[in-house]
């Protein structure tokens, strides 16, 4: 039983995750080294969280895949209630996204990603099975597409109300990946993209002032170098200062003198680039590419459509985090609060990433046969 699980598990993926986490711990340690506000212990908390996440991931790896439906419904339902309640919480960093109890904070939009993926995968599997049946029911197909739309729109709407546009965009990437897996004709996707391009200037006019400012500053950070453009400018300075081998751990001026903002979470890649240089920062990029490739391979070898949809959705989630976080640190994308999975400091995202990987490893371990717990 467990011998088959151990045999089929993707160990390259496990090694990749551990490597990213270790690099992240070094970055978090350095980011908090010169601070006096409690950030010195963030790396210890990250290690503690990782220990908890490993236990949860092992549980998810061992259970039968049929349990994922129940887990998905539970996560989606509970997270939906929490997304409504969190709107009444005090604002932090311009958004009401966290529940805070003392030094512990929780962001409900994080685990909602997993709930959405598991629920959407179930409905999409039903849609494909209906389309492939000898007598497909077109009414049922339209109903299932409507359910997918509702599953997506409700949490995204609540997240936009916070407002947290970066996290909302993660859901768009997840949905896009899963839609491609559904096999929807490319002409429909192309038409949708054309409509979105036409709507961009209209949407821009309806955005709140701070969101417009963020886009304007992304296009030209020098518009407000000491205000909204400060983060982007300081991040690019840090990345450039690292050059090939870096300034050395605990020796980066941007990091140690506090010029780099939110450096243990949002801008952890800038810390790594400055102090450990291009060699290590490029290694981080390569590790993410390996991780995404392995997840997509697991999706292609999954034992059933449901498992395959789940793995593809998780790949979409990690893809957006990877591209957006690194892109914003080097000035290629607008700055959002999207963390770098397994590298950035933060229990909520680490928990979500660990749960996602536990599920993916479960799927990889069952690619050849149905192994019961």
Model confidence pLDDT, tens digit, residues 272-316? 999 999 999 999 999 999 999 999 999 999 999 999 999 999 999
Q: Please determine, for residue 32, whether its predicted confidence score (pLDDT) is greater than 70.
A: yes
**Percent of residues in the chain assigned helix, strand, coil, to nearest 5:** 75, 0, 25
Average pLDDT over every residue of 25-34: 91
Query: From residue 22, how far is each of 26, 52, 272, 293, 343 by CA, in Å?
Result: 7, 16, 12, 20, 8
Q: Please determine, for residue 223, whether its predicted confidence score (pLDDT) is greater than 80.
A: no
At 38 the pLDDT is 60
Residue 300 lies in a domain: yes
Model confidence pLDDT, tens digit, residues 170-185? 999 999 999 989 877 7
DSSP 220: -
Q: CB–CB of 229/223 below 8 Å?
A: yes
Residue 373 lies in a domain: no
Model confidence pLDDT, tens digit, residues 107-129? 999 999 999 999 999 999 999 99
Q: Please determine, for residue 370, whether its predicted confidence score (pLDDT) is greater than 60.
A: no
For the chain, count helices (H), then strands (E).
14, 2
Q: To the nearest whole percent, how much of the chain has pLDDT over 70?
A: 96
Q: To the nearest whole percent, how much of the chain has pLDDT over 90?
A: 63
Query: From residue 165, how far is each of 198, 215, 337 by CA, in Å?
Result: 19, 12, 9
Question: Element (H or E) spanning 99, and its range?
Answer: strand 99-101
Is the preceding peptide bond at 163 cis, omega within 30 degrees of 0?
Answer: yes
> pLDDT confidence of 6, banded at 50, 70, 90?
confident
> pLDDT confidence of 50, banded at 50, 70, 90?
very high
Domain span including residue 175? 2-365
Nearest CA to 124 among 316, 313, 360, 309? 309
Domain count, the chain: 1
Residue 372 lies in a domain: no
Polymer length of the chain:
373
Distance, CA of 95 to chain centre:
18
Distance, CA of 191 to chain centre:
27
144 vs 206, more confident: 144
Model confidence pLDDT, tens digit, residues 12-23? 999 999 999 999
Residue 370 lies in a domain: no
Residue 234 lies in a domain: yes
Q: Whole-angstrom Cα distance, residue 325 to residue 196? A: 23
Residue 163: partners with Cβ closer than 8 Å, 6 or more residues away:
94, 95, 208, 211
> pLDDT confidence of 252, banded at 50, 70, 90?
very high
Average pLDDT over every residue of 233-246: 93
Q: CB–CB of 232/217 below 8 Å?
A: yes
At 305 the pLDDT is 94
Residue 100 lies in a domain: yes
Which string of DSSP letters, residue by residue, matches 134-163? SS--HHHHHHHHHHHHHHHHHHHHHHHHTT
Q: Whole-angstrom Cα distance, residue 274 to residue 281? A: 9
3-state secondary structure 279-305: HHHHHHHHHHHHHHHHHHHHHHCCCCH
Q: Please determine, for residue 195, whether its predicted confidence score (pLDDT) is greater than 90.
A: no
Residue 113 has phi, psi (to 5 degrees) of: -60, -45
> What rounded mean pLDDT belongs to the chain?
89
> pLDDT confidence of 207, banded at 50, 70, 90?
confident
3-state secondary structure of 106: strand
At 369 the pLDDT is 47
Residue 371 lies in a domain: no
């Amino acid at each position: 039983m467990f011998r088959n699980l151990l045999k089929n598990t993707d160990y390259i993926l496990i090694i990749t995750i551990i490597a990213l986490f270790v690099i992240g711990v070094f970055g978090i340690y350095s980011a908090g080294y010169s601070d006096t506000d409690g950030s010195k212990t963030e790396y210890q908390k990250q290690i503690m969280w990782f220990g908890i996440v490993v236990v949860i991931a092992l549980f998810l790896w061992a259970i039968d895949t049929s349990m994922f439906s129940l887990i998905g419904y539970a996560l989606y339902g509970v997270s939906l209630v929490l997304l409504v309640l969190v709107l009444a919480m005090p604002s932090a960093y311009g958004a009401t996204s966290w529940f805070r109890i003392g030094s512990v904070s929780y962001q409900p939009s994080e685990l909602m990603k997993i709930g959405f993926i598991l629920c959407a995968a179930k409905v999409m599997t039903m849609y494909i099975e209906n389309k492939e049946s000898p007598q497909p029911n077109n009414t049922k197909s339209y109903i299932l597409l409507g359910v997918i739309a509702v599953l997506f729109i409700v949490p995204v709407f609540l997240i936009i109300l916070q407002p947290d546009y970066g996290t909302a965009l993660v859901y768009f990437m997840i949905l896009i990946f899963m839609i491609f897996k559904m096999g929807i004709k490319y002409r429909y996707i192309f038409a949708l993209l054309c409509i979105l391009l036409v709507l961009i200037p209209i949407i821009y006019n309806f955005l709140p002032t701070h969101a417009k400012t963020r886009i304007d500053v992304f296009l030209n950070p020098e518009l407000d170098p000491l205000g909204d453009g400060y983060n982007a400018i300081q991040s690019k300075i840090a990345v450039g200062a690292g050059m090939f081998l870096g300034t050395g751990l605990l020796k980066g001026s941007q990091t140690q003198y506090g010029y780099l903002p939110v450096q243990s979470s949002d801008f952890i890649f800038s810390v790594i680039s400055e102090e450990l240089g291009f060699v290590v920062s490029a290694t981080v990029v390569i590790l993410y590419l390996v991780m995404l490739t392995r997840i997509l391979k697991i999706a292609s070898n999954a034992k059933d459509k449901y498992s395959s949809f789940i793995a593809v959705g998780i790949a979409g989630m990690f893809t957006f985090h990877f591209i957006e976080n690194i892109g914003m640190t080097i000035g290629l994308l607008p700055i959002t609060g999207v963390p770098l999975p397994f590298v950035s400091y933060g229990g909520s995202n680490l928990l979500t990433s660990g749960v996602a990987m536990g599920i993916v490893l479960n799927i990889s371990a069952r690619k050849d046969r149905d192994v019961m717990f």
